[in-house]
Amino acid sequence: MRKLASLVVIGMLAATAAHAEIVNVEVTGQVVFNAIGDAPLSGVGSGEGVTVAFQVDSNDFEEALPGDVRGYVVDPASFSMSFSGGTVVGLGAGDAYFALVEGFPVADGFFLSSGPVSPGGVLLDVTDHNLNVDLGYVGETLTTLDILDAFGTYDFTGLTRFGFNIWRIVPDNVRMEIDFSQLTISGQPTPVETATWGEVKASFR
């Protein structure tokens, strides 16, 4: 009986971990060129490593195109764009979505945008500068629009296109070009708390 109860508890803990709601997203690359004159981005040099990191809640999303595109709301407090030389910038005002594309129309992908419907980029906390992340992959890269099913690392395997840059005022005015390296989507580790095990022990008394 005690062994069965232990197995049930372990199963419940595993299920909790598998259904974590806070999701980490990280995009990495390397600066190709930088023509930005505004601080602090003006100090970023070619060749520097770039990491864009943020979190989304798997339950907080908009069905932009049902069955094809789903945009997850980015937590602005979790967002950072950091460079290996030490420069770090955050999000500016306005909405930000991390969208999954599944079979639209025959290809999959991901993008970061101020709206959940289409790519375009998000405003950074540097005046008039927007970050664009737009990744296209072959069909069947994603099986659903549930971000919990998309955990993993996406690199050049199956990549059909990428846009990773910072533009100013209009998307064609690219001020910093970045070579894409990889995208990683992962869950939060689920700690085993003392209180939880205390409750388990109490159930055997």
Convert the pLDDT of each residue in 59-103 to its tens digit.
999 999 888 999 999 999 999 999 999 999 999 999 999 999 998
pLDDT number for residue 8: 39
pLDDT number for residue 5: 42
Residues of the chain with pLDDT below 50 are 1-18, 20, 194-195, 200
pLDDT number for residue 13: 41
pLDDT number for residue 43: 96
Per-residue 3-state assignment (H helix, E strand, C coil) for the chain: CHHHHHHHHHHHHHHHHHCCCEEEEEEEEEEEEECCCCCCHHHCCCCCEEEEEEEEEEEEEEEEECCCEEEEEECHHHCEEEECCCCEECECCCCCEEEEECCCCCCEEEEEECCCCCCCEEEECCCCEEEEEEEEECCCCCCCCCHHHCCEEECCCCEEEEEEEEEECCCCCEEEEEEEEEEEEEECCCCCCHHHHHHHHHCCC
pLDDT number for residue 11: 44
pLDDT number for residue 189: 75
**Any residues with CB less than 8 A from the CB of 62 and at least 6 apart, and which?**
70, 71, 73, 97, 116
pLDDT number for residue 124: 98
Domain residue spans of the chain: 1-20+190-205, 21-189
